């Protein structure tokens, strides 16, 4: 920055102080059009020029000005103030006052513009896996700020740690580095300042936004509103590339299931329990085998389910301890790619040893329901229809559900969850396949179909495929056998 620009900026700061004495630091920085870090430097330079700038309830300029040298001081007059304001106005008009030191660009204070169209989008990530932040920017960050003023006009602000990653991977038009905001965790404060520079009063934020950031945005004057529909339609419709990424994740899930089943098939049965190499075969050991295989393929699934009975009767029981023979084992793996960040979802149920007649009946009913549910899927079909189809099959086979109108008899195994859900950057996203969802399925939706039957104290059975909704029906991404017999997987 040359001497004229630096002097012009100092005049701008001084004019802001004169116009509104007693401003707090944030307000003064905003009025002067500089960052708070730059403001601190400017105040120090103003002291060197002869001003005494003290902090009380805000910044105030004391009545001393040295225009003729440090050794001689005279009272400042109204003419001085008028001259300073006139000079500041002139240099502002010439564009000389702006800070060119490489920080986030600042704009002069101006009248707020009326909002036209949708409010800007402000995203502050809720951790590195925040799906809305990743969808909008193309990268996942623990800390950062993204603002989309309108289509084609967006900015991503990151720390020095992430600047190279952002420049190589982000889709944002403008990428800015700000180490001070990162250290101070002042993302909401920065967002408020940047919005004001554009004349924006409000903003739309993601439902994922942590409450503390929402409160901070509002505290700094942003009329922030949670947009529950933000990116829902865009994320729901999968492109060919996104569908291929989900299909690749589904293949990784199939390989992991086969790895688990291989361990189960090779186990020894002793006293109704499974053993391998002289040690108990546990859910934990099977989990480790599946995780290792997924990691080698570039995937991860920290919350997978590998559950033995009777815990299989609880749909989201993760599994623990030694596996029992002659009873269902549910394997539910939903890996996420470390490169594309898209997810698959696959469930199979197997029995090591002899499956009881009741387990076989439950499994056969679930498979029939799965096929019927898949057959009912196509673009334009209400999202509740596949669920009702599944429920009706289970009811016809003598079982029950918790869905109104499909309850079935008392005391039988029943389906107590929805038939499926959307899959993408999250393992559970739009659209749901459940009762009372009348909105139609759309071409490009990727959904699961996962009927199950559960009887507390006995066991559970669940089988799940994942695929894409098309105009012509369901394109299944899943090819793995659905057999109860572990040896059929090998």
For the chain, which residues make up each domain, given as ranges?
3-93, 121-230, 236-489
Which residues contact residue 178 at a Cβ distance below 8 angstroms, ignoring those fewer than 6 apart?
103, 104, 157, 158, 159, 190
Distance between CA atoms of 187 and 210, rounded to whole angstroms?
12
State whether residue 203 is helix, strand or coil.
strand
Residue whose token pair is 């865009």? 234
State whether residue 371 is helix, strand or coil.
helix
Closest CA to 134 of 412, 365, 343: 343
pLDDT of residue 71: 38
Check if the beta carbon of residue 234 is closer than 8 Å to that of residue 135.
Answer: yes
User: Hey, which residues does 308 pair with through a beta bridge?
Assistant: 329
Return the H-helix or E-strand segment holding 252.
helix 240-265
Distance between CA atoms of 465 and 476, rounded to whole angstroms?
7
Closest CA to 108 of 205, 224, 193, 43: 193
Distance between CA atoms of 444 and 243, rounded to whole angstroms?
8
User: Hey, which residues does 204 pair with through a beta bridge?
Assistant: 121, 225
- CB pairs under 8 A, 24+ apart, for 464-467? 464/332, 464/345, 464/346, 464/347, 464/348, 464/370, 464/420, 465/346, 465/370, 465/374, 466/246, 466/250, 466/344, 466/345, 466/346, 466/423, 467/374
Distance between CA atoms of 44 and 313, rounded to whole angstroms?
70
Distance between CA atoms of 479 and 271, rounded to whole angstroms?
35
Closest CA to 346 of 334, 358, 359, 360: 334
Which residues contact residue 152 at a Cβ distance below 8 angstroms, ignoring those fewer than 6 apart?
173
Return the H-helix or E-strand segment holding 176.
strand 174-177
Instruction: Give me 107's structure tokens.
Output: 């704009």
State whether residue 460 is helix, strand or coil.
strand
- Count each helix (H run) and each strand (E run) in the chain, helices first: 14, 25
Neighbouring CB atoms inside 10 A of 79's CB total 8
3-state secondary structure 13-55: HHHHHHHCCCECHHHHHHHHCCCHHHHHHHHHHHHHHCCCEEE
Mark residue 144 as left, alpha or beta (left: phi above 0; alpha: psi -120 to 50; beta: remaining): left
pLDDT of residue 90: 56
User: Hey, which residues does 332 pair with through a beta bridge?
Assistant: 305, 347
pLDDT of residue 40: 67
Fold assignment, 236-489: Creatine Amidinohydrolase (3.90.230)
pLDDT of residue 12: 74
User: Hey, which residues does 459 pair with through a beta bridge?
Assistant: 455
| CATH architecture classification, 121-230 | 3-Layer(aba) Sandwich (3.40)
Distance between CA atoms of 386 and 406, rounded to whole angstroms?
13
pLDDT tens per residue, range 219-240: 999 999 999 999 999 999 999 9
pLDDT of residue 32: 72
Cα Rg, the chain, nearest whole Å: 31
Residue 270 dihedral angles phi and psi, to the nearest 5°:
-135, 120
pLDDT in tens, the chain (490 residues): 556 666 677 777 777 776 666 666 666 777 777 776 676 677 766 666 666 555 433 343 433 333 333 334 444 455 555 555 555 555 555 554 444 444 433 433 333 333 445 899 999 999 999 999 999 999 999 999 999 999 999 999 999 999 999 999 999 999 999 999 999 999 999 999 999 999 999 999 999 999 999 999 999 999 999 999 999 999 999 999 999 999 999 999 999 999 999 999 999 999 999 999 999 999 999 999 999 999 999 999 999 999 999 999 999 999 999 999 999 999 999 999 999 999 999 999 999 999 999 999 999 999 999 999 999 999 999 999 999 999 999 999 999 999 999 999 999 999 999 999 999 999 999 999 999 999 999 999 999 999 999 999 999 999 999 999 999 999 999 999 999 999 999 9
Q: Per the omega criterion (within 30 degrees of 0), is the bond before 310 cis?
A: yes
Lateral strand order in the sheet of 414-415: 400-401, 414-415, 452-455, 459-462
Q: In this structure, which CATH number among 1.10.10.10, 3.90.1200.10, 2.40.50.100, 1.10.1520.10 belongs to the domain 3-93?
A: 1.10.10.10
Strand ranges (E), 66-161: 121-123, 145-150, 153-158
Sign (positive or negative) of CA dihedral 348, 349, 354, 355: negative
Closest CA to 159 of 132, 186, 130, 123: 186
Instruction: Give me 20's structure tokens.
Output: 């509104």
């Amino acid at each position: 920055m040359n001497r004229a620009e630096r002097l012009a900026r100092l005049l701008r700061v001084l004019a802001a102080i004169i116009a509104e004495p007693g401003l707090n630091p944030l307000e003064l920085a905003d009025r002067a059009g500089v960052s708070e870090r730059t403001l601190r430097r400017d105040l120090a330079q103003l002291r060197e020029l002869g001003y005494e700038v003290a902090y009380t309830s805000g910044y105030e300029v004391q009545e001393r000005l040295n225009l003729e040298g440090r050794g001689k001081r005279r009272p400042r007059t109204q003419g001085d103030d008028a001259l300073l304001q006139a000079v500041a106005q002139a240099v502002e008009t010439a564009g000389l006052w702006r800070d060119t030191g490489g920080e986030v660009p600042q704009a002069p204070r101006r009248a707020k513009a009326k909002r036209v169209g949708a409010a800007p989008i402000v995203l502050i990530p809720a951790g590195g896996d925040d799906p809305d932040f990743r969808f909008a920017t193309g990268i996942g960050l623990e800390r950062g700020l993204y603002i989309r003023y309108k289509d084609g006009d967006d900015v991503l602000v990151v720390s020095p740690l992430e600047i190279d990653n952002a420049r190589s991977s982000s889709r944002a038009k403008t990428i800015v580095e700000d180490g001070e905001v990162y250290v101070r965790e002042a993302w909401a404060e920065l967002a408020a300042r940047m919005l004001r520079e554009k004349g924006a009063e409000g903003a739309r934020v993601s439902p994922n936004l942590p409450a503390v950031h929402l409160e901070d945005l509002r505290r700094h004057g942003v009329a922030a509103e949670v947009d529950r529909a933000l990116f829902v339609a865009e994320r729901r419709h999968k492109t060919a590339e996104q569908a291929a990424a989900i299909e690749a994740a589904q293949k990784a899930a199939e390989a992991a299931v086969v790895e688990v089943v291989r361990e189960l098939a090779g186990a020894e049965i002793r006293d109704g329990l499974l053993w391998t190499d002289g040690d108990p075969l546990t859910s934990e050991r099977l989990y480790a085998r599946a995780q290792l295989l997924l990691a080698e393929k570039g995937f991860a699934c920290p919350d997978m389910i590998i559950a033995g009975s009777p815990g299989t009767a609880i749909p989201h029981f993760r599994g623990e301890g030694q596996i029992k023979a002659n009873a269902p084992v549910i394997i539910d793996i939903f890996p996420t790619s470390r490169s594309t960040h898209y997810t698959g979802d696959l469930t199979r149920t197997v029995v090591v040893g002899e499956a009881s007649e009741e387990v076989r009946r439950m499994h056969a009913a679930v498979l029939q329901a799965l096929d019927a549910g898949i057959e009912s899927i196509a673009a334009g079909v209400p999202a509740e229809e596949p669920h009702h189809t599944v429920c009706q099959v289970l009811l016809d086979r003598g079982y029950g559900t918790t869905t109104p109108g499909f309850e079935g008899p008392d005391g039988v195994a029943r389906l107590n969850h929805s038939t499926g859900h959307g899959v993408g950057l999250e393992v559970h996203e739009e659209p749901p396949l459940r009762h009372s969802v009348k909105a139609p399925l759309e071409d490009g939706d990727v959904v699961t179909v996962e009927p199950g039957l559960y009887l507390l104290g006995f066991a559970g059975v669940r089988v799940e495929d994942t695929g894409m909704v098309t105009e012509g029906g369901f394109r299944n991404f899943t090819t793995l056998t659905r057999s109860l017999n572990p040896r059929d997987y090998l």
